[in-house]
């Protein structure tokens, strides 16, 4: 009886070695020329198995890639190898691509106002009159651009905004910042000449810059170069006032 037990044990060990060394080919008749490189998944990444001891390094379940597909395999269970009829998706975590935006070849296009509130006060009298303008609207103004990358970049919008701001600040205007808030109640008083009307825009002054925008990391679906893009980077909030005998171009807006 002892000899019989030894024979059975030898047959089991031999079968295990055949399965683990030859992989899918020997276990289920599935033939392929692809080298058998079994692996498991640890913390979302591939972890290769030792072909001679899969049951010890990968456990009873593991994976194998062949002809662009992945198959689930086991050492002892249902398949005794890999199941070629049911490709699977291994729980591999794809690395997150973080954009690395660059904004260079910059040209100063001047300054303008992003208008939050427009007001006017007329002075029909024959002498100058003091008129007050009071803001009734609040808003947060941040970096924007003509290509709308800063609006469409979703989770990466902050990265784009920070990159654009840093470039404009270093090369065009050191006063720019990423965001500026306007506030309700902000006031300004002006002396309006006799018979004239005062016009006032309350908002945020922005720096306009023309430059080359691109992503060094190439995260946007393979697109890396956005070409020429005009950006509007906030400087400060306040009033821009002119009179009816002056051109409105004194207070340009975007």
Asked if residue 94 is part of any domain, the answer here is no
> Total structural domains in the chain?
2
Label residue 40 by pLDDT band (50, 70, 90). Answer: confident
Q: Residues 219, 110: one domain?
A: yes
Q: Residues 65, 121: one domain?
A: no
Q: Residues 16, 74: one domain?
A: yes
The domain of 28 spans 2-88
Among 50, 65, 88, where does a domain finish? 88
Helix (H) or strand (E) holding 119: strand 101-122
Q: Residues 172, 215: one domain?
A: yes
For residues 122 and 13, which has the higher predicted lDDT (pLDDT)?
122
| Residue 194: both structure tokens together | 């006799």
**Location of structure tokens 């902050």:** 158
SS3 54: helix
Label residue 29 by pLDDT band (50, 70, 90). Answer: very low
CA dihedral 227, 230, 236, 241 (to 10 degrees): 180
Helix (H) or strand (E) holding 65: strand 61-66
Q: Residues 197, 119: one domain?
A: yes
pTM for this one?
0.66
Mean pLDDT of all residues in the chain?
A: 82
Label residue 3 by pLDDT band (50, 70, 90). Answer: very low
Residue of 109, 32, 111 lying closest to 73 (CA atoms): 32
């Amino acid at each position: 009886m002892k000899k019989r037990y030894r024979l059975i044990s030898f047959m089991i060990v031999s079968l295990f070695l055949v399965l683990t060394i030859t992989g899918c080919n020997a276990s289920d008749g599935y033939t392929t020329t692809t080298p058998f490189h079994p692996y498991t998944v640890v913390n979302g990444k591939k972890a290769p198995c030792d072909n001679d001891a899969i049951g010890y390094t990968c456990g009873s379940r593991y994976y194998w890639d062949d002809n662009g597909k992945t198959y689930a395999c086991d050492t002892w269970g249902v398949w005794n190898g890999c199941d070629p009829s049911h490709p699977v998706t291994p729980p591999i975590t794809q690395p997150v691509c973080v954009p690395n935006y660059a904004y260079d070849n910059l040209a100063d296009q001047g300054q303008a106002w992003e208008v939050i509130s427009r007001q006017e006060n007329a002075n029909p009298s024959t002498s100058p009159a003091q008129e007050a303008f009071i803001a009734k609207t609040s808003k947060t103004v941040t970096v924007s651009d003509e290509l709308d990358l800063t609006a469409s970049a979703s989770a990466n919008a902050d990265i784009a905004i920070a990159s654009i701001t840093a470039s404009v600040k270093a090369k065009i205007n050191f006063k720019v910042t990423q965001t500026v808030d306007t506030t309700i109640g902000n006031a300004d008083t002006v002396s309006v000449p006799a018979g004239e009307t005062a016009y006032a825009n309350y908002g945020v002054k922005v720096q306009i810059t023309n430059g080359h925008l691109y992503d060094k990391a190439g995260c946007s679906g393979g697109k890396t170069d956005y070409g020429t893009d005009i950006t509007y980077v906030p400087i400060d909030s306040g009033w821009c006032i002119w009179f009816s005998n002056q051109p409105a171009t004194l207070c340009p807006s975007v």
